[in-house]
Amino acid sequence: MAVFVLNQKIALFNFRRLETVAEREAGTVKWFNNDKGYGFIERDAGGDIFVHYSAIQGSGYRSLEDGQRVEFAVAEGPRGLQAQEVNRIAD
């Protein structure tokens, strides 16, 4: 656990490594909100999975486009399954 003081308020963060639970998968970005930094991917295997901007691989501004094809690992997060190590698939 880490403690940070931000604007005279104490913020506690519990850092833990997410555990990968499946092989890499492919899917299509269902929607991604750039302002909030998260969205959902429709998995080729079925169902949707949460994605956070911090899971997107690459440098600079990390974002995804609706309808974009991606490859990702599936990990167990604090609120269920989420995409990790997300890479864009070239057309």
Which tens digit of pLDDT belongs to each residue from 65-81?
999 999 999 998 888 89
Report pLDDT digits (tens) over 24-56: 999 999 999 999 999 999 999 999 999 999 999
Q: State pTM to two decimals.
A: 0.75
Looking at domain 18-88, what is its CATH homologous superfamily? Nucleic acid-binding proteins (2.40.50.140)
Report pLDDT digits (tens) over 1-31: 444 444 444 444 444 455 666 679 999 999 9
Q: What is the largest CA-CA distance in the chain?
A: 48
Cα–Cα distance measured from residue 81 to residue 7, given in angstroms and rounded to the nearest whole number: 33
Parallel, antiparallel, or unpaired for β 69-77 and 2-6? Answer: unpaired
Q: Where are the domains of the chain?
A: 18-88
